[in-house]
Amino acid sequence: MANGYIRASLKYIDDHNQFILDLPFQNPADPKYVPGFSDYGSFNSAEGNHIRVPTPAGGLELPLDNGLQTKGYWLTADARFDLGGGWNFQNTAQVMQDNQEWNAIVPFNALPAATWVTSLGLTADSTKLYFTNVVDSVGGKVPFNTPNGLVAPGGEWHVAKPLSAFQNQVQLHGQVGRNSYAAGFYFANYTQENHWYFTDILTNVADKTHFLDLLAFQGANTLFVTKNGFRNFLSLYRNAEGQTTVASPTASASLQLSDKVRADIGFRAEWDVYVQSAENTSSFNLDGVAASSATSIAPSTIGPRPAGSTTRWRLKRRSTRRRVAVTRCRH
């Protein structure tokens, strides 16, 4: 364009990384993997990929294969025009949308199965530990038989954090004789959401990791210590969002008062608004059976509150900053 330009650029990212987390070593003085675990092992398990767990609000799917995910775009536009008479106008804007995820199986410990069962403080006549998804030739679940005898209580975590932003800056510059003038306005809005879902699981310790289930028997009563490999379907739940809005006008002038004296005058003000909200939570027994591990953290919309209602806390803060009449003379 003869009197200016218009430019635009787009950046797009779709990136996934796998988490290989704490691995089971022995002998701190000369670390080596525990028996049955090699350089090709990890605590990631196909059994945990896209598995669904029950929640009071329905099912939750755990996309383990997403790993550490960054999927988003950044669109930037810049336009500048010469208005004539020594004046020019420029506008620069950017919009961003980014869907961040964090998905991993996180081992907390590796210890002998008997030690772990004892640590639970169970009062039981007997217990039964078996593989959740490994069956024999007739379809029966195979008892725990990993040669090293180790189990790993841990977690399967899914965190989704959508981010968005819009930024726009307008600038007007002019030169009139020996004096220059400028005015501008900046506006931005940033948003983020936090959706955290932490589950507790139990696996064996091997190159190919399997989920485990534990039953405890006392008389005619059966306690499901784990169900489908889960010790808790949702041990931590967070549902929150926040946004920040910024607005800032500016104005300045450089006045050549004489050959030896120049005055610089500037003004800037800024208004910020911060808003955050988060949902309350409470524990919830999913199947109503006391002797069960089918528990979950739930939004506080259950109980006496009307169906579909939510309880949230909100924090809102405004701030204003102004800078005026900043004058500097040179001679």
Instruction: Determine the average pLDDT of the residues in 119-142.
Output: 88
* pLDDT category of residue 300 using cuts at 50, 70 and 90: very low
How many Å apart are CA 82 and CA 75, to the nearest integer? 24
For residue 287, the model assigns a pLDDT of 63
Interval 242-252: pLDDT, tens: 999 999 999 99
For residue 27, the model assigns a pLDDT of 76
Task: Determine the length of the chain.
Answer: 331
Give 88 or 281, the one with higher predicted confidence.
88
For residue 158, the model assigns a pLDDT of 95
Tokens for 299?
């939004």
The model carries a pTM of 0.79
**Identity at 17, one-letter amino acid code:** N
Give 326 or 182, the one with higher predicted confidence.
182
Are residues 81 and 6 in contact, defined by beta-carbon separation less than 8 angstroms?
Answer: no
**Identity at 8, one-letter amino acid code:** A
Q: Of the candidates 125, 134, 295, 296, which has an alpha carbon nearest to the alpha carbon of residue 225?
A: 295
For residue 130, the model assigns a pLDDT of 94
* pLDDT category of residue 145 using cuts at 50, 70 and 90: very high
Tokens for 87?
């004046």
Roughly how many angstroms between the first and final C-alpha of the chain, as a whole number? 40
Q: Is the pLDDT of residue 74 over 60?
A: yes
For residue 289, the model assigns a pLDDT of 59
Instruction: Determine the average pLDDT of the residues in 219-241.
Output: 89
Q: Of the candidates 178, 181, 159, 172, which has an alpha carbon nearest to the alpha carbon of residue 265?
A: 181
For residue 306, the model assigns a pLDDT of 32
Q: Is the pLDDT of residue 36 over 50?
A: yes
Residues 6+ apart with CB under 8 A from 61: 50, 51, 52
How many Å apart are CA 100 and CA 105, to the nearest integer? 17
| 223 backbone φψ class: left, alpha, beta (φ>0; ψ -120 to 50) | beta
For residue 224, the model assigns a pLDDT of 85
How many Å apart are CA 193 and CA 241, to the nearest integer? 4
Interval 158-174: pLDDT, tens: 999 999 999 999 999 99
β-strands 262-279, 281-285: how paired? unpaired
Q: What are the boundaries of each domain within the chain? A: 4-280+315-330
**Residue recorded with tokens 């001679």:** 331
Interval 79-110: pLDDT, tens: 999 999 899 999 999 999 999 999 999 888 88
Q: What is the mean pLDDT of the chain?
A: 84
- Which H helix or E strand runs over 115? helix 113-119
Radius of gyration of the chain (CA): 30
* pLDDT category of residue 17 using cuts at 50, 70 and 90: confident
Give 63 or 121, the one with higher predicted confidence.
63
List 272's β-bridge partners, or say none.
246, 319
